[in-house]
Amino acid sequence: MTINILLRSTKASDLDLVLSAEQHPDNCNFVYQWDYQTHFNALTDDNFRHYVITNPEHKFLGYVILDNVKDSSNSINLRRLVVTRKGESIGKQTVRLIQKLAFEELNAHRLWLDVFVDNQRAYNLYKQVGFREEGKLIESYLRNNQYASQYIMAILKHEYEILSELMG
Ligand SMILES: CC(C)(COP(=O)(O)OP(=O)(O)OC[C@H]1O[C@@H](n2cnc3c(N)ncnc32)[C@H](O)[C@@H]1OP(=O)(O)O)[C@@H](O)C(=O)NCCC(=O)NCCS
C-alpha cells in the first residue's frame, strides 16, 4: 500500500528530526552533513527550499532540500533527500513532487543532483523518474577517509513534460 505524502516548509522546530535523520547510520554515508546553523540559515534563504516530508497525519517521514533556486540559468539543484522509512515509495513520490514544484512553479529549465556511485537505491529511483546520467565525478569526495565518486544526473523541463504526459 502506498503512503500518501505531503511536503511542507521546514520549521526550526523540525530541525532536530532533520538532523537525526541526516546523521542516522543508514543515511550518513549517502548525504552531506550540515550542522544545525547551516540548516537553520537555509530555512530563510531565498536560494533554498527546505521541506519536510510527512504523511497526512503530519508524521515526519524525511526531508528534501533544493538549492540554486535563484540560479540565473534556471538550473536547480536537488541538494538532499532523506527518507526515514525506506522502500515504501516515499522517495519516489517526493522526487515527483519536487519535479512538479521545480518545473511548474520555480521556473526550472534543468533539475540536477549528484549521487554516490555506491548508492544503488537512490540511483535506481532517480532513473525511474526520468533523470539521465550526465557524467561521473571520479573520486570527488573524501568520505570516511576514502575518495568516493559521484554521478551527476539531470532532467530538463521538456523531458519532464514528456514524462508527465506519458504518466497521465
Ligand atoms: C534513496 C532514498 C531517498 C529512496 O527512497 P525510498 O522511499 O527508500 O525509495 P522508493 O521506495 O521510493 O523506491 C524507488 C525506487 O528505488 C529503487 N529501490 C528501492 N529500494 C531499493 C534497494 N534496496 N536496492 C536497489 N534499488 C532500490 C527501486 O527502483 C524503487 O522502485 P520500485 O519500488 O518501483 O522498484 C531513501 O532510501 C534514503 O533516504 N536513503 C538514504 C539517503 C540517500 O541515499 N539519499 C539520496 C542521496 S542522493
Q: Which of 82, 157, 92 is nearest to 129 (CA)?
A: 92
Q: What is the pLDDT of residues 79-104, one digit of tens each?
A: 999 999 999 999 999 999 999 999 99
For ligand 1, the distance from its centroid to the CA atom of residue 121, given in whole angstroms, is 4
Ligand 1, residue 30: give the atom nearest the CA.
Answer: 44
48 with 68: CB under 8 angstroms?
A: no
pLDDT at 114: 98
User: Domains in the chain and their CATH numbers?
Assistant: 6-167 (3.40.630.30)
Task: Provide the β-strand partners of residue 77.
Answer: 67, 112
pLDDT at 2: 83
What does the DSSP assignment read for 83-138? ESSTTSSHHHHHHHHHHHHHHHTS--SEEEEEEETT-HHHHHHHHHTTPEEEEEEE
Structure-block grid coordinates of residue 87: 522502500
Question: Ligand 1 atom 37: the closest Cα is on which residue?
Answer: 86
Question: Ligand 1 atom 31: the closest Cα is on which residue?
Answer: 125
What confidence tier does 167 reach under pLDDT thresholds 50, 70, 90? confident
77 with 67: CB under 8 angstroms?
A: yes
Q: What is the pLDDT of residues 22-58, one digit of tens each?
A: 999 999 999 999 999 999 999 999 999 999 999 999 9
For β-strands 146-156 and 110-116, DSSP reports them as antiparallel
For ligand 1, the distance from its centroid to the CA atom of residue 85, given in whole angstroms, is 10
Q: What is the pLDDT of residues 135-153, one digit of tens each?
A: 999 999 999 999 999 999 9
Ligand 1, residue 116: give the atom nearest the CA.
Answer: 48
